[in-house]
Amino acid sequence: MDDSDVPVLIVGAGPTGLALACDLARRGVGCRIVDRAPVLPSGSRGKSVQPRTLEVLDDLGVLDEVRAYGGPVLPYRAYDRDRVLGVWPSARQRAATAQVPYPNVLMVAQERVEDALRKRLARHGVRVRFGTELLTFAADDEGVTATLADRSTVEQVRARYLVAADGGRSVVRKQLEIPFEGVTYDSQHITVADVEADGLDRAHCHVWPRAAEGTIALYPLPAGRSFQLTADGDLGDRADSLRDAFAQRTDSMGIQLREVSWMSTYRVVIRAAQRFRAGRVFLAGDAAHVYPPAGGQGMNAGIQDAYNLGWKLARVLAGAPSSLLDTYEAERVPIAARTLETVSELYHRSLLGDPKGRTDPPDSGQLAVSYRGGPLALDHRGRASGLRAGDRAPDAPCHDRRGKAVRLFDVFRGPQTTVLAFGSRYAQSGTAADELHADSAAVRVVVRPGDSAPGTAIVDTHGHAHRAYDITADTVVAVRPDGHIGMICEHAALADVYRHLEALGCGDAGSGCAEPGPRP
């Protein structure tokens, strides 16, 4: 395979494109990622990483680096000109639990997230090609032919699949003529800038919600001295105009805006694509949905798109049925619709003068996002309550057979499907669970409540796993590579397990699955 022939071409190297490229690269799938920007993007841009996204970044191997540049969401201090209206917490800080190791939003500049993902991608031998624009493309039954151009060359690239992560003004979406449904508020603009300021503490987010000219706010950015300034309205592209607007809306209060290192203005857009797939072309991130500046969902939703799509592309490229790719749109379109509804409400709250409407994280930081009832959710339990197929797979601290501490997230890490077998019928050799492991590429792990763990078993020492998965009978749980539950079956018949693993691309011969990772 030469450079002009790749399995996956990714257009756009923001958080969505980079997360997808990292996920594909770790699965051994060749990909090429291009971006029309001539140089690395600057500016903080998005600044909220939700708890579920932290779990994805953990799985991709970049969480420690991202957290090193992040910090907690700070309380708000609201003003009316120079008068303090009050102070309130922006969101309740939750303690980590056995099931949710990262329960709180992390404040970190988007450029730091992108930098960590680019470095991880480079370690996989893949680098972003900046200054490269997609001019046009043509898809057929076998793949996509794309025409790319940089400053000096025009070339054609042949790819099995093309993924558009090229933003709200997506060239790919427009060429496909996929309706982008929703609303654009032409009269409502938001200005965002990175500034340094004297006269303000860095222990609060500072908000002026009652200024007649529109709300203006300063958010301390962790790991540095900068604040992110956000303001209603188009404040132009000059630092002087930004300083004048800030002084007017705040009565100065002795605050001096010094260096303005980056600023941008954009219209408020609330839209989602009618479809996320057209044959061998997929939309992800802002190319598929654009949210208003409320709830910190944009970057997070894009990374979740990538995490859902990456393993499916890898398995189909390795021989799994192409129908697996239909489930990307089936699962992600409803999530986008619900998120748009929630953040739209928050945004309109902010227009009424409630500054918390801009940042309150909906949907428990995306931990409650579920694909229940979807095409890959098989649920055979004797009750309707509790954890269900399609839900996020919880974490739980356990021990391996040597007594070493191990988390279920450690067991899930990597490209494989993981089968958790709870109950005595799966704990003995020669059982259906052992036969399952022998005949498929899914990793099978027996979860025992006892104090010893022979073979591939792990010990649920304190019962956290049994409680997290609501186990009351012999149960098999298949955890997808994206950390969602594909199947929960009590007293599972082997035929049911096989049938669902085949739908996940892990059939009798393990077609489409990566080799099992190291067992605990």
Residue carrying structure tokens 């991608």: 121
Q: What one-letter code names the amino acid at 239?
A: A
Confidence of residue 432 (pLDDT cuts 50, 70, 90): very low
Q: Which pLDDT belongs to residue 351?
A: 61
User: Mean pLDDT throughout 259-286?
Assistant: 94
SS3 286: helix
Q: Which pLDDT belongs to residue 31?
A: 97
> What are 97-110's pLDDT values in tens digits?
999 999 999 999 99
Strand 5-11 to 31-35 pairing: parallel
Q: Which pLDDT belongs to residue 180?
A: 96
Confidence of residue 363 (pLDDT cuts 50, 70, 90): low
**What is 481-501 written as a DSSP string?**
TTSBEEEEEET--HHHHHHHH
Report the percentage of the chain scoring pLDDT > 90. Answer: 62
Choice between 291 and 293, residue whose per-residue pLDDT is larger: 291
Residue 428 to residue 227: CA distance in whole angstroms: 59
Q: What one-letter code names the amino acid at 436?
A: L
Q: Which pLDDT belongs to residue 168?
A: 94
Residue 172 to residue 133: CA distance in whole angstroms: 11
Report the percentage of the chain scoring pLDDT > 70. Answer: 86
Phi and psi dihedrals of 143, rounded to 5?
A: 170, -160
Give strand ranges (E) for 343-410: 378-380, 397-399, 405-407
CA distances from 437 to 418, 426, 483, 516 (A): 10, 12, 19, 10
pLDDT tops 50 at residue 508: no
Half-sphere exposure in the Cβ direction for 446 (13 Å, CA): 26
Q: Which pLDDT belongs to residue 221?
A: 95
Rg (the chain; Cα; Å): 24
Contact 282, 276 (CB under 8 A): yes
Q: Which pLDDT belongs to residue 289?
A: 96
DSSP 420: E
DSSP 431: S
User: Mean pLDDT throughout 10-14?
Assistant: 98
Q: Which helix (H) or strand (E) holds 76?
A: strand 76-80
With 0-12 / 13-18 / 19 or more C-beta atoms within 10 angstroms meaning exposed / middle / buried, residue 134 is buried
User: Mean pLDDT throughout 19-30?
Assistant: 96
Q: Which pLDDT belongs to residue 99?
A: 97
Averaged pLDDT score across all residues of the chain: 86
pLDDT tops 60 at residue 510: no
> What are 76-126's pLDDT values in tens digits?
999 998 889 999 887 778 999 999 999 999 999 999 999 999 999 999 999
Q: Which pLDDT belongs to residue 236?
A: 86
SS3 202: coil
Q: Which pLDDT belongs to residue 346?
A: 72
Q: Which pLDDT belongs to residue 513?
A: 31
Residue 81 to residue 363: CA distance in whole angstroms: 33
Residue 483 to residue 374: CA distance in whole angstroms: 15
Q: Which pLDDT belongs to residue 343?
A: 77
Q: Which pLDDT belongs to residue 339?
A: 85
- Alpha helix (H) residue ranges in 221-368: 239-250, 298-317, 326-351
pLDDT tops 70 at residue 361: no
> What are 277-286's pLDDT values in tens digits?
999 999 999 9
> What are 317-353's pLDDT values in tens digits?
999 999 999 999 999 999 999 888 887 777 766 665 5
Q: Which helix (H) or strand (E) holds 66?
A: helix 63-68
Q: Which helix (H) or strand (E) holds 197?
A: strand 180-198
User: Mean pLDDT throughout 299-306?
Assistant: 96
Confidence of residue 486 (pLDDT cuts 50, 70, 90): very high
User: Mean pLDDT throughout 497-507?
Assistant: 74
Of the ranges 54-58, 256-260, 264-268, the best mean pLDDT one: 54-58
Residue carrying structure tokens 């962790």: 222
